[in-house]
Amino acid sequence: MAKVNDNYLKLPGSYLFSTIARKVREYTEAHPEARIIRLGIGDVTQPLAEEIVDTLHKAVDEMGRAETFRGYAPDLGYDFLRNVIAKKDYGERGCDISADEIFISDGAKCDCGNIQEIFSLENRIAVCDPVYPVYVDSNVMAGRTGAYDPEKERFGNVIYLPCLEANGFLPEIPEEVPDLIYLCFPNNPTGAVMKRSALQEWVDYANKNHSVILFDAAYEAYITEEDVPHSIYECEGARTCAIEFRSFSKTAGFTGLRLGFTVIPKELEADGVKLHGLWARRHGTKYNGAPYIVQRAGEAVYSDRGREQIREQIAYYRGNAECILKGLRAAGYSVSGGVNAPYIWLKTPDHMTSWEFFDHLLEKANIVGTPGSGFGPGGEHYFRLTAFGSRENTLEAVERFKKL
């Protein structure tokens, strides 16, 4: 008799975005005249840059001619893309990462979710609270956690690192030593960043304790401040304790195209085994490579014209973040994030719960955001707004906030 993986049954169900969608639908049905502004979901809205579109067209034409047609891509990625990433994302920042330590994939979500497969089920993970849910849920599915405690809203056998106002929304070194440490900076959902010296402390800690840091740098393109590292490999010793995830989604608007990569330095070991070889084996067995045309589009992101156009897009979203941050601060709200990240983390007024504030904002201002409690109990009494809307809607939303 077939049996299911009952670890999946431990998951309480992801009600966050479906509950938001239902509430918005019900409100719109009751108030068809309302002009809703959505600052909730973390998806980009600007079209692909011209250079990317031109490159895609050229690559499609290549696929349509016998002499330039390509079949399966190399499962670890085309050299043209791995080389340019090694040079521009790492070499130019003084990081020692070679092209063959870069594994191309169809996005950071899959890699963040799949990476746990190469580690023992006996490993104990540590995650920030609030957190991007993929890190926890993928470990639940694998059976690395205990049961879910609905009262605490936490899984057993997971070390939670509270990221609250009191600690500047940054995790502190825990008492118990985790084997795997998930860090994401610039952070989703709080928009907080870790300065180089703070990240260096985590790197030193991981090296000392033989832990592995799983560093999600999906939002590095939004960094504006000098002392905030774009890569964990800017820290000394990271090559022996860290894996890094990157995404083209928020950097170049590839949420619908799908492209990302994972970096595993060759000397990184767990239990005397090189992780590079394990991930290469996993990739080779379970993945057949990102599409040629998308990898060519990824290469174009690093061309002079591509870089310039993408810089403009990011500046546009950053401008939105600045409008929200300044506007809400002027209106008396307590807000953080938004300087090195496309997310603004808003403290709900009058001790409202995150969901109470959601309803209040929807009904009184017709604005949709994301309740912070959806990212974990540490997010309760907070609310996430994103800078991914249009400038017009963002400005209008700020005006509505002021009138609340």
Q: List interacting residues with ligand PLP (CB under 6 A).
A: 42, 107-109, 112, 132, 184, 188, 216, 218, 247, 249, 255, 260
Provide DSSP, 222-280. Answer: G--STTS-SSGGGSTTGGGTEEEEEESHHHHS-TTT--EEEE--TT-EETTEEHHHHHH
Give strand ranges (E) for 17-111: 37-38, 102-105
Give strand ranges (E) for 50-176: 102-105, 125-129, 148-149, 154-155, 158-162
Q: Would you call 213 helix, strand, or coil by DSSP?
A: strand
Q: Would you call 206 helix, strand, or coil by DSSP?
A: helix
User: Is there a contact between 221 and 187 (Cβ–Cβ < 8 Å)?
Assistant: no
- How near is the Cβ of 79 to ligand PLP at its closest, in Å? 21
Q: Give the nearer residue to ligand PLP in terms of CB position, either 43 or 312.
A: 43
Q: Give the nearer residue to ligand PLP in terms of CB position, either 102 or 218.
A: 218
- How near is the Cβ of 109 to ligand PLP at its closest, in Å? 3
d(CA 351, CA 345): 15
Q: Give the nearer residue to ligand PLP in terms of CB position, either 141 or 177.
A: 141
Cis before 171 (ω within 30): no
- How near is the Cβ of 189 to ligand PLP at its closest, in Å? 8
Q: In the bound complex, which residue of the shown chain has the CB atom lying closest to ligand PLP?
A: 107
- How near is the Cβ of 232 to ligand PLP at its closest, in Å? 14
Q: Give the nearer residue to ligand PLP in terms of CB position, either 293 or 398.
A: 293
- How near is the Cβ of 260 to ligand PLP at its closest, in Å? 4
Q: Give the nearer residue to ligand PLP in terms of CB position, either 184 or 243.
A: 184
Dihedral of alpha carbons 107, 113, 119, 124, sign: positive
Our CA angle for 94, 95, 98, nearest 5°, is 125
Residues whose CB falls within 8 Å of the CB of residue 195, separated by 6 or more in sequence, listed in order: 227, 228
Q: Give the nearer residue to ligand PLP in terms of CB position, either 83 or 114.
A: 114
- How near is the Cβ of 128 to ligand PLP at its closest, in Å? 11
- How near is the Cβ of 67 to ligand PLP at its closest, in Å? 33
Q: Give the nearer residue to ligand PLP in terms of CB position, either 247 or 336.
A: 247
DSSP state of 152: T
User: Is there a contact between 311 and 275 (Cβ–Cβ < 8 Å)?
Assistant: no
